[in-house]
Amino acid sequence: MTLRLYGSARSRVSLPRWYLEEKGIAYEWIVLDSQAGEHRQPPFLAINPFGKMPALEDTALVGPDGGPLKLFESGAILLHLAELYGQEFSSAGSGDAATSAVRRALTAQWVLFANSTFTAALMGHASRPEELTRLLGVLDGLLGSGGSLLAGNGGDPGWGAADCALQGHLAYLPMFCPSVDLTPYPRVQAAIASTQQREAYRRVMGLA
């Protein structure tokens, strides 16, 4: 198998796995026993020295150590999958090089936003609730009725890595911040509901 994804049932690994399932990309799914600390033991530390999940091995590419390319950070894994396996930025898929460049840039923007700015607001919600509600207010204005972020860019490129990162993080909201009232954000609510109905998402999250 070209792609090997390492993770555990309840970690941010779910997002790259959801991407692979949505796109029908073949991969091997390797579950680590995080309760037993398997992610902090030498075999996995050779893949991600920080001992954090998820991590990806791509055996189609050669990494700096001469072995398969090893990649950590869920956002970087998503961008790599979008680039080489989801064909989201290929000229063939998007029409021309400029459209590819724009789509690649905006996808990185939303992945960075989800994994840094939005995650920081989620994690800091107890001490600074106003930051999360401010972000949600802006997002509510930006999300289209279909919930897709890049829909306006060069026709509808369909569901992609930007949606996976942002929609995945929005769907964490009811779990991580159940006290947040989502009534003022109908499009955010609709986006969460839409995510929760996707078959691949339900399968990966164990909701199916």
Q: Interface residues with a second copy (CB under 8 A)?
A: 49-50, 52, 58, 61-65, 69, 71-76, 79-80, 83-84, 98, 101-102, 104-106, 108-109, 111-113, 115-117, 119-120, 123-124, 135, 138, 141-142, 150, 152-154
Helix or strand holding residue 168 (H, E): helix 161-176
In whole angstroms, the minimum distance from the beta carbon of 197 to a second copy comes to 26
Q: Is the CB of 143 or the CB of 204 nearer to a second copy?
A: 143
Q: Where are the beta strands (DSSP E) in 152-195?
A: none
In whole angstroms, the minimum distance from the beta carbon of 131 to a second copy comes to 10
In whole angstroms, the minimum distance from the beta carbon of 193 to a second copy comes to 23
Strand partners, 62: 68
Q: Is the CB of 38 or the CB of 83 nearer to a second copy?
A: 83
Cβ–Cβ under 8 Å, residues 196 and 171? yes
Quote the distance between the C-alpha of residue 150 and its chain's center.
Answer: 15
Cβ–Cβ under 8 Å, residues 75 and 19? no
Q: Is the CB of 120 or the CB of 180 nearer to a second copy?
A: 120
74-84 helix and 14-23 helix, angle to the nearest 10 degrees = 20
Phi, psi dihedral angles at 103 (to 5 degrees): -65, -40
In whole angstroms, the minimum distance from the beta carbon of 140 to a second copy comes to 11
Q: Is the CB of 65 or the CB of 181 nearer to a second copy?
A: 65
Q: Where are the beta strands (DSSP E) in the chain?
A: 3-7, 28-31, 55-62, 68-72
In whole angstroms, the minimum distance from the beta carbon of 203 to a second copy comes to 26
- How far apart, in whole angstroms, are the C-alpha atoms of residue 43 and residue 63? 17
Q: Is the CB of 150 or the CB of 164 nearer to a second copy?
A: 150
